[in-house]
Amino acid sequence: MKEYLLKLYQYNAWANSRALRALEQQNITDEKILTLMSHVMAAQLLWLHRILDLPAPDVELWKRYPLERLKEMSEEASTRWLQFIHEHDNFNRQLRYNNYVGLAFENNVEHIMIHTVNHATYHRGQVALLMRERGYEPVNTDFITYDRVITGQLNV
């Protein structure tokens, strides 16, 4: 499972970076697009803090952050998630936590980790759709594209 999670979070870091770079290159300031990317970055930090049993990070789940802050959040989340995966061998444990509105839940850490990347993929897809609808060119962040890039089959 560790190898799978490592690859999944390497992909997630690549996809977030690629999406944010596309926003920057096209000078996108659209509120809805930036709010969705902000939500992705905030959620990744919130979930990591829950898993590490740390106080909630100083982020808001649905606040629109400026692009420079999003890039910082992405770098922090990517670095810390990958570090967490490298430093641990077993992610198959239950975690009790309160969600952002205070409701208590218990979930398996592996499932939370898979959810976190799937959640980001879902919202990056929404960002791509909004970009296209607004006349921008979305960037491909599919996992298979990532795999082709890292295996040298594709240069993007």
Q: Kindly list the distances between the CA atom of residue 138 and the CA atoms of 13, 22, 25, 107, in Å, as whole numbers in the listed order.
A: 17, 7, 11, 34
From CA 144, how far away is CA 156, in angstroms rounded? 13
Report helix angle 109-133 to 31-51, nearest 10.
170
Residue 156, domain member (yes or no): no
> Which one-letter amino acid corresponds to residue 79?
T
Cα dihedral sign, 87-93-98-101: positive
CA angle centred on 137, ends 63 and 148, rounded to 5°: 100
Give the structural domain span for 6: 2-150
> Which one-letter amino acid corresponds to residue 78?
S
CB 23 within 8 A of CB 69: no
- pLDDT the model gives residue 144: 97
- pLDDT tens per residue across all 156 residues of the chain: 999 999 999 999 999 999 999 999 999 999 999 999 999 999 999 999 999 999 999 999 999 999 999 999 999 999 999 999 999 999 999 999 999 889 999 999 999 999 999 999 999 999 999 999 999 999 999 999 999 999 999 998
Residue 53, domain member (yes or no): yes
- pLDDT the model gives residue 71: 98
Q: Kindly list the distances between the CA atom of residue 66 and the CA atoms of 98, 104, 149, in Å, as whole numbers in the listed order.
A: 27, 31, 29
CATH number at residue 120: 1.20.120.450
User: Which single residue is written with the structure tokens 């999406």?
Assistant: 19
From CA 23, how far away is CA 121, in angstroms rounded? 16
Residue 125, domain member (yes or no): yes
- pLDDT the model gives residue 100: 87
Specify the number of domains making up the chain: 1
Residue 129, domain member (yes or no): yes
Residue 111, domain member (yes or no): yes
Q: Which helix (DSSP H) or strand (DSSP E) does residue 94 occupy?
A: strand 94-98
> Which one-letter amino acid corresponds to residue 115?
H
Number of C-alpha atoms within 13 angstroms, CB side, residue 154? 11
Residue 155, domain member (yes or no): no
User: Which single residue is written with the structure tokens 């909630």?
Assistant: 56
